[in-house]
Structure 1
Amino acid sequence: MTSIRKIVASMCLAGNFVLQMADPAYAHAHLNAEIPAADSTGTAPQSLTLGFTEAVVVKLTGVVVTGPKGNVIETGNVSLSDDGKTLTIPLKIDLVPGRYSVTWHALAVDGHKTHGVYGFTVTNR
């Protein structure tokens, strides 16, 4: 094998190694959809829906909703979609107009943890 072929082969092996090492980063359960949507304005929802890029462990995934006065909004039992990627969180009270914050944390089924915060505004019931 000529030295140029050896260099090219080495570069291909190194590139393949780097690509294989990058794959686990895609396994994190990132929030990719929410209802109400982040930074949206509208009527008060009866529940929240959080969609993730990977399946999550529902017992180790959580959401805290904070109201306009900093009060924590009581939520009901969380349900998980059949594919394990979408949570539905019922709200136990009617939301009053104001800005709400949703703080979430998720554990993907492969063990990776993620977390974040987003907000939405309620204009009327």
Structure 2
Amino acid sequence: MRNKTWIFTRQFVAILVVICGIVLFSPRAALAHAILVSSQPAINSTVSGPDVAVLLKYSSRVDLEHSTLTLLDPNGKVEKITINSEPSPGSLSAKLTGLVKGAYVLRWQILAMDGHITRGTIPFQVK
């Protein structure tokens, strides 16, 4: 009986060591990405035009030179948007002008300071 307990204990310890190794050495790439924390305009919001201020805040610092904003208008036309500044670390600002009534999609792609690229979209309506 004692021999069976010893074998069970050794197997349990071996399994525990393998699980700990997997947890400790598994990649944590998802933790390194900059995630959109808040946006102006908000996702699926309705805003007044024709001019709309854009403020995007992320969970970490971003590289302005390698980040882009584009706007898909109600007619399907895509326009590159100039990023004005970084009002605070991890945020981007821009100004959308001349918007008419309809559905828009603001597309963003940012390069986090750790080298990871993140993309997303912000659909919104202009009334």
TM normalised by structure 2 equals: 0.76
Superposition deviation, residue 22 in structure 1: 4.5
Aligned partners of 1:73, 1:5: CA distance in 2, in Å?
64
Aligned partners of 2:87, 2:29: CA distance in 1, in Å?
23
Rg larger in 1 or in 2? 2
Aligned partners of 1:18, 1:11: CA distance in 2, in Å?
11
Matching residue's letter, 2:99: L
SS of residue matched to 2:108: strand
Superposition deviation, residue 27 in structure 1: 0.8
**Alignment partner, residue 118 of structure 1:** 122
SS of residue matched to 2:30: helix
For structure 2, the 5+ residue unaligned runs are 1-5
Matching residue's letter, 1:36: P
Superposition deviation, residue 36 in structure 1: 0.6
Aligned partners of 1:75, 1:112: CA distance in 2, in Å?
21
> Larger % of strand: which?
2
Aligned partners of 1:19, 1:48: CA distance in 2, in Å?
40
**Alignment partner, residue 33 of structure 1:** 38
SS of residue matched to 2:74: coil
For structure 1, the 5+ residue unaligned runs are none
Q: Given that residues 35 and 58 in structure 2 are in contact (C-alpha distance below 8 angstroms), is that contact kept between their aligned partners in structure 1? A: yes
SS of residue matched to 2:65: helix
Superposition deviation, residue 54 in structure 1: 1.8
Superposition deviation, residue 68 in structure 1: 1.3
Superposition deviation, residue 63 in structure 1: 0.5
Superposition deviation, residue 24 in structure 1: 3.0
List per-residue Cα deviations over 1:32-70 (Å, max 9, x = no partner): 211111111121253211111221111111110122122
TM normalised by structure 1 equals: 0.77
**Alignment partner, residue 53 of structure 1:** 59
Superposition deviation, residue 28 in structure 1: 0.5
What is the aligned residue count? Answer: 121
